[in-house]
């Protein structure tokens, strides 16, 4: 095989590899449902969020309170400490239809919300 032939095969391989990375990235971005959620004065806003079933969910949580909180859900099996006045990304696996409660573990009695999967 000539050198130029080898180089053009190599270039083709790189192009195919880059294309599949781009395609995979696009598929993942499309598959996950992103939800904006904020937390202020020990309340989730909105208190109820919804997402489609069988789709990965990404919750973009903004803790607007000065104190840290801990986002937790036993049924969703997630738990994340979020420092005061900061943001966090919470990845939730695809779920079956249902109502999944979450809360701030530091204020479990009052700071509650739910994810409704349809």
Burial class (CB in 10 A: 0-12, 13-18, 19+), 33: middle
**Residue with smallest beta-carbon separation from Cu ion:** 105
Which listed residue (78, 105, 107, 112) binds Cu ion by CB under 5 A? 105
Instruction: Report if residue 88 touches Cu ion, rule: CB under 5 A.
Output: no
Binding positions for Cu ion, 13-32, rule CB under 5 A: none
Instruction: Report if residue 104 touches Cu ion, rule: CB under 5 A.
Output: no
Radius of gyration for the alpha carbons in the chain, expressed in angstroms and rounded: 21
Find the shortest distance in angstroms from Cβ 64 to Cu ion: 20
User: CA–CA distance from 75 to each of 64, 91, 101, 115 (Å)?
Assistant: 25, 14, 7, 10
**Site residues (vs Cu ion, CB under 5 A):** 72, 79, 105
């Amino acid at each position: 095989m000539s050198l130029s032939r080898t180089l053009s095969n190599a270039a083709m391989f790189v192009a195919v590899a880059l294309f599949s990375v781009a395609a995979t990235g696009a598929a993942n971005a499309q598959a996950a449902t992103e939800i904006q959620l904020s937390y202020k004065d020990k309340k989730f806003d909105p208190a109820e969020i919804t997402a489609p079933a069988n789709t990965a969910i990404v919750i973009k949580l903004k803790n607007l309170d000065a104190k840290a909180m801990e986002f937790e859900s036993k049924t969703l099996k997630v738990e994340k400490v979020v420092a005061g006045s900061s943001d966090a990304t919470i990845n939730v696996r695809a779920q079956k239809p249902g109502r999944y409660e979450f809360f701030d573990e530091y204020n479990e009695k009052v700071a509650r919300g739910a994810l409704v999967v349809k």
